[in-house]
Amino acid sequence: MSDSRTTGSDTLLLASTSTAIARVLKPYARQLQGKRMAFIPTASDAETYGIANRLARWRFACMGIDVHMVNVAREPYETISGELRLADAIYVCGGNTFHLMHHLNASGASVLIRNKVARGALYIGESAGAVAASPDVGYIAAMDDDRIAGYTQGLALTRYRVIPHMGALMLGNAAARIYAEHQSDSRYVALRNTQALVVSNTQARVIDATSHFAIGVEHTGFFGLT
């Protein structure tokens, strides 16, 4: 696959779950130690299961990453701007995509994230965070309740539209319906809970985080590392 993005030429790591993300990053644990991550939990606030998404921050803290929580629905612009400016990576948590996009846009964080990724920061999107990387998130309405109408514009970090949780017990039926509607369009990428879409420079590929092949992603350039 090749990718022509609206902004940036660096790495995106998009997945259905934090487990898949952590497995992809694990081989880089030594290089990642001390790197700073802005962890945006905002999407998880809108769901009853959100605490499970927020716990993902401890996975990365245990890898030696310096994790800073940045809730764009609650923090002032100065705090959001400062944290994103210092971040080596931006992690956008799972939850409700429309709730997330409302607050990313209202807070000004969406522009800050686009600019930061364009300058080389790694963008990591889990579920709703993966959907948010697309140009428009309206396609995910069959999975996420659109409680705040009018916020379908995505971050436009990639041309691809991730459909998370394909085949999963939770949200799998919704994922299948969305995929059936768009399966003839190669921009739509359905991901199982064990899979991740890695977009690096102009290349994109789906990898399985449970396989040895998937873990050996030598050419993705996480944090500028090889």
Whether 173 is covered by a domain: the verdict is: no
Q: What is residue 7's predicted lDDT score, i.e. its pLDDT? A: 37
What's the CATH code of the domain at 88? 3.40.50.880
Residues 197/206, Cβ–Cβ less than 8 Å: yes
Q: How confident is the model over 57-112, as pLDDT tens digits?
A: 888 998 899 999 999 999 999 999 999 999 999 999 999 999 999 999 999 999 99
Instruction: Give the integer Cα–Cα distance in Å for 102 and 149.
Output: 9
| Whole-angstrom distance, CA of residue 200 vs CA of residue 222 | 9
CA distance 2 to 79: 36
Does the residue 17 lie in any domain?
yes
Residue 71 within any structural domain of the chain: yes
Looking at residue 90, what is its pLDDT?
97
Report the domain count for the chain: 1
- Structural domain range at position 53: 11-158+195-224
Q: Does the residue 1 lie in any domain? A: no
Q: Give the amino acid at 135.
A: P
* Among 175, 202, 194, residue whose Cα is nearest residue 10: 202
The answer to the question of residue 182 being in a domain is: no
pTM confidence score: 0.88
Does residue 204 form part of some domain? yes
Is residue 71 a contact partner of residue 53, using CB atoms and an 8 Å limit?
no
Tell me, yes or no, whether 163 lies in a domain: no
pLDDT at 221: 44
3-state per-residue secondary structure call for the chain:
CECCCCCCCCEEEEECCHHHHHHHHHHHHHHHCCCEEEEECHHHHHCCCHHHHHCHHHHHHCCCCEEEECCCCCCCHHHHHHHHHHCCEEEECCCCHHHHHHHHHHHCHHHHHHHHHHCCCEEEEECHHHHCCCCECHHHHHCCCCCCCCCCECCCCCCCEEECCCCCCCCHHHHHHHHHHHCCCCCEEECCCCEEEEEECCEEEEEECCCHHHHCCCCCCHHHCC
| Residues lower than pLDDT 50 in the chain | 4-9, 212-226
Q: How high is the pLDDT of residue 2?
A: 55
In a domain, 172, yes or no: no
In angstroms, what CA-CA distances link 93 with 31, 43, 45, 71, 175? Answer: 23, 6, 10, 10, 18
The pLDDT of residue 115 is 96
